[in-house]
Structure 1
Amino acid sequence: MPAIVPRVSMGRKTLIIVIAAVLIVSIVGLNLYRSRQQVPVEVSTATAQIEKMGATILTSGNIELVEKQEVYAPSDRLVREVPVQVGDQVKAGQILVVLEADSESLSLLEAQARLAEQEVTYQKYFNPAPEDLKIAEAEYKQAQLKYESSLRNADSYEKLYAAGAVSLQELETARTQLAADEAAYLKAEREWNKIRNGLQGAERRSQEVAYHRAREAVKLAEQNLTQFVVPARIDGQVMAVEVSPGDVTKAGQHLVTIGDPRRLEVKVGIGEYDAARVKKGQEVLIEASAFPEKQFKGQVVEVSQRAFVNKNTQSQQVEIPVRIAVDSEQEGLLPGFTVKVKIITVPEKERLVVPYEAVVDKDGQKYVYVVSQGKAKQAAVEIGLEGDLNIEITKGIKEGDVVILNPPDDLKDGQAVKPVEGPAQEARG
């Protein structure tokens, strides 16, 4: 009996071949993928370390006197006296320079004389002394007696004239005397009442206005004279004298400067983006070219609440003025020195830092990749202070962790990695 040979159709045979090929390719691909996964990715690394770190703002400015008085000529004038010289210690009120001011001096004397008259009148009516009251009362009573006597005398002359005993001229003389004595009596009575009861109504207001005007006139004359006979407004030291007796000044010419060289400050401008970081009381380090090996200290004493455009820069940068007081240890610093200043906005202290290149941002979350047992472990971190090269890590990793620098975009959590040859790089300060 002949053997039975199974017959397989060509279509079924083709299907089997295709399935086998797919299985083979899948197995090969899986093996290649596993092989690639097992090949470590070479990476550069750095070690997270503790390092002293703070934040500063660098700028520059000029040393100035905290308080100073600069004297300028108000007009073309002859210099009469210069009673001070550079280095002298002066007190407030001490004369610094005397310019020709004859007419201004005369105006002051006249104003003072008018004020003296007004003060006598003002005191008499608004704050009378007991003696003023007694004198006014005595003058009133004396005028009253004289008036009453003249009244009796005039009555007598009227009768005598009617009887033909005196002439009309004699009667008129008596009448004239009576009128004069009556006027003097009424005036003395008013004066007595004014002093006793004080001025009233419009008369009171008029006297007050006259008195205050006289006082203002003296103040104005004094202020005008101080432009030419110039007193020191502050205690200090004479820093500059630029005229001598006999010189003729020009309007606006600088004459004398005084100030306290122990009280110095620096005025600087900071960019608007740094404004929120600068606060009153922050420490400042100051360096002067004249003392390259020395560092002075200061403190922020004022941050302006108003910005301005610095037209001295090419870009006309918007700046906020900041005033810095120089500490008492300032020997050698002079007004006018150009200095570099470093405002310490965040005090330096020990912080855990890594290089900037270690931190990546994914959808607003910061990460670093830590090398652990030959694999890259993704760690979510929180950052703090940012320095020039390093960034502070406040949460997520610890000191000594080795982090990957510039991790590849396709680096996966758990992927095998191999640091480049040589020791792991340390965070750079």
Structure 2
Amino acid sequence: METHIKWIITAILVLGIGSYFAYSQTKPLHTELLEVKEQTVAQEFKEEGIVTSSLEQPIFSEISGKIVKMHVKEGQKVKKGEVLAEIEAKDLEFQLRQLQAQLESIKGQEKQAYKSPYSAQVKQQQLMIEETKRQLEIGKNNYEKIKSLYDSGAVSKQELDDAENKVKQLENALLQQEQALKLIEEQAEPMPGTSQYYKGLRESVNEQIAHLEYLLSSKKIMAPVDAVIKELSVKEGAMVTPQTPLMTLSDDNNLEVEVYLLTEDVINVKEGMIVELIQKRKNGDYSFKGQVKSIAPAAEEKISALGLTEQKVKVTVVPDQKESPELRPGYALDVVFTTLVQENKLAVPKVVLFPTENGGDAVWVVKNGKAKMQEVKTGMETDELVVIEEGLKAGDLVIKNPQLEGLKVGKAVQQSNK
């Protein structure tokens, strides 16, 4: 009886194991399946760029002195002509007063160099000349009248000759008086070169005065353009010289992004190329467009994050003003360069591929609910996708995980619940 029961139990176990084995062989695998579709595939790479200003201008003082007032602070926006700082200039003001007094002294010395006693004689002689000129004009008019009367026979030849002689006498008198005036002026002139001497003195002092006035006008440091105070190099109360940088201005209306690319990457970058700029944010990254403005003609040595020396080329990108968020110099942005685009291509994630025994590539596809190994010919690759040139068609279902346990040719496969 006991032997009979043992046989029954053994039979039940064998039947159960066989049934389980048979079920496990026919039970479908549940996994994620991907439908093959045509899509646009882009080959791209990404580098970090830094926002800079196209205009970064250091500001210097043209005079030495103490900063008595600093009107701005870092990050402040200023307008062209706005006062940035004021510098004390007492020494220059004292020098200016000295030169102005010196100029007045020169003018006084120049006056003394000319002989004043002759001024009355000069005036008297000038009056005589004016009177003679007046008489000569009357004589000429009278001569013309008499000549007209003579031509008509109203007066004698003697009267015409008398009128003509009168004009000649007045002309001779005028000539003598003008020569007399010239003689008086020559006698009143100072020594040769005196005029040039005092003229040179005046011009020299005037040039010094003009220079000091220019420097004094520079004691108020003005903003040369509309800009932002990027950095203050000195504080109020500091002593400065013309070689001391006071601050640096940047133009936030003309921002650029500088990014350094490896020499092998920059080959595929061209001026005018549209790029994607990404600003990282806590609530999600913000993406906007930019355009390559320029590519440096030579590479520079840069140290990588791993401490390696690399040859990199500076590329300057201009953000799209309409799309760009509020940016400031120093902000970091990711710059995405798209170097190759293929449209309407069948592409799958690179993770679905696995190597074949003959060195090719293959994927697992599901047809009629069964797994099938399909060899493929690949094309362009990106970081995540690979283009399938041959072996697949649109609508095919591909198993995402080629290492799935239990996966083999002919195995039943179903889409897992997502």
Q: TM-score band (shorter)? A: 0.3 to 0.5
